Amino acid sequence: MGNSELTKLLQDVVLKNEKPARDVATEINKPYPTLLREINPEDKGAKVGIEELVPLMRSTGSIRPLTRLANIMGYVLVPMDINPGDPDEANYMALDLMDGFGRYSKALKSALQADPKEDLVNIVEQEGFEAITAILTMVHYLRKRAEEEKTKNAPRLAQVS
């Protein structure tokens, strides 16, 4: 992991977000110019503090920084708050899964066709973790859905016996 990888990720989360960066700065009680300096990977003098990470993720609605930190440490995050009754959620998860595998496959192909330099290996690793996260999320969703179906059908099974 490069020194500025997380800072660049935070910059992407703040600037490539539906919510304007000025609104994010207001929500986390930080002057807008200060926030822009702290998320700028080129600015070595100011950086987002760990105490500000959770408010920043809440404000932007993105857990990408937390996910990347977990991946760097060799872990994956799987959301626990999944609504099995929402078919749209399952569809979006399936699309994320396919998209994640596509990015992983593309990164792996690039790395295998070249000398595996550290930056390519890092990209393969990151995309691989995201694909694993998507798979585990979908499995968790399906298990919750199966449990709900079992619970819903349990009274009918008792009546039949």
154 three-state secondary structure: helix
Q: Tokens standing for 11?
A: 């910059």
Instruction: Give residue-wise pLDDT tens across range 84-106.
Output: 677 677 777 777 778 878 888 98
Instruction: Give residue-wise pLDDT tens across range 18-40.
Output: 999 999 999 999 999 999 999 99
Which of 14-23, 66-75, 99-108 is most confident? 14-23
CA 71 to chain centre: 10
